[in-house]
Amino acid sequence: MTSGRGRAVARRSVRLRLGALAALLALGATGCAGGAATAPAAGPAVTATSASAAPTPELPAVLAASVPIRVQIPAIGVDSELMDLGLQADGTMEVPAGGFPAGWYTGAPTPGERGPAVLAGHVDWGGAPGVFAELRDVVPGDEITVSRADGSTAVFAVREVGQYDKDDFPTAAVYGDLDHAGLRVITCGGTFDELADSYRDNTVVFADLVPPA
């Protein structure tokens, strides 16, 4: 028989999703990939702040879900709105139609929820720097501020900045589950491969939520 469910009271915040993320924008394609087939977002619906006693370890505090609307990275002068990014027909992430604005991947948690939130934007476009032209200059300790639709703000502190060959993209590190609220900011980097019409690398900034008071 099942047993062992007695537990200390846990303090949690509960979020109810009303299907607001069920539809994604169809974006004009850029660069290599054409088409903009979208996939329904199926991210988690809950943030849980746990302060229970043993046996479960205490999870870091996180925010409730809320659509991000603005990202600021003061250290490199970034201040951008955020558009929705879904998946293309081939399963790769959609990208914005131009150098600005930046976007957020709607299939991942909203920035501030537990888990890996993902932002992406162009390093350059149409002969001019894109929104994340200087993302490679971010260093650990820099702040990334994400403003959310419900009026709250999620502040992240950069932990790591890396440049990765696109053929060896760190999928697990970027999209794997976390016990806290994390943020990944992605743009292109490295040399530009003219035959492939693509940058060789992705620059990825890893940041963690500064715990809400």
Is 175 an interacting residue with respect to other proteins (CB under 8 A)? yes
Q: Please choose, from the candidates 52, 57, 39, the residue with its C-alpha nearest in 3D space to the C-alpha of residue 8.
A: 52
Residue selected from 33, 67, 69, 97 as contacting other proteins according to rule CB under 8 A? 33
Residue selected from 27, 36, 161, 183 as contacting other proteins according to rule CB under 8 A? 161
Q: Measured from the CB of residue 49, what is the shortest distance to other proteins in angstroms?
A: 7
CB 48 within 8 A of CB 126: no
* CA-CA-CA-CA dihedral for 39, 33, 125, 147, to nearest 10: 10
d(CA 39, CA 105): 11
CB atoms near residue 149 (< 10 Å): 13
| DSSP, residue by residue, 88-144 | -TTSSBP--SSSS-EEEETTSPPBTBSEEEEEE--SEETTEE-TTTTGGG--TT-EE
Q: Measured from the CB of residue 162, what is the shortest distance to other proteins in angstroms?
A: 5
Q: Give the contact letters, 56-85, x = binds to other proteins (CB under 8 A), - = no.
A: xx-xx--xx-x-------xxxx--------
Q: Measured from the CB of residue 80, what is the shortest distance to other proteins in angstroms?
A: 13
C-alpha distances in Å from residue 122, one per residue of 94, 154, 187: 11, 22, 6
Is 108 an interacting residue with respect to other proteins (CB under 8 A)? yes
- Among positions 110-129, residues that touch other proteins (CB under 8 A) are 112-116, 118, 120-129
Is 152 an interacting residue with respect to other proteins (CB under 8 A)? yes
Residue selected from 27, 71, 183, 186 as contacting other proteins according to rule CB under 8 A? 186
Q: Give the contact letters, 36-55, x = binds to other proteins (CB under 8 A), - = no.
A: ---xxxxxxxxxxxx-x--x
Is 14 an interacting residue with respect to other proteins (CB under 8 A)? yes
- Among positions 86-105, residues that touch other proteins (CB under 8 A) are 87, 90-93, 95-96, 105
Is 207 an interacting residue with respect to other proteins (CB under 8 A)? no
Is 35 an interacting residue with respect to other proteins (CB under 8 A)? no
Is 130 an interacting residue with respect to other proteins (CB under 8 A)? yes
Is 169 an interacting residue with respect to other proteins (CB under 8 A)? yes
d(CA 100, CA 41): 23
CB 76 within 8 A of CB 139: no
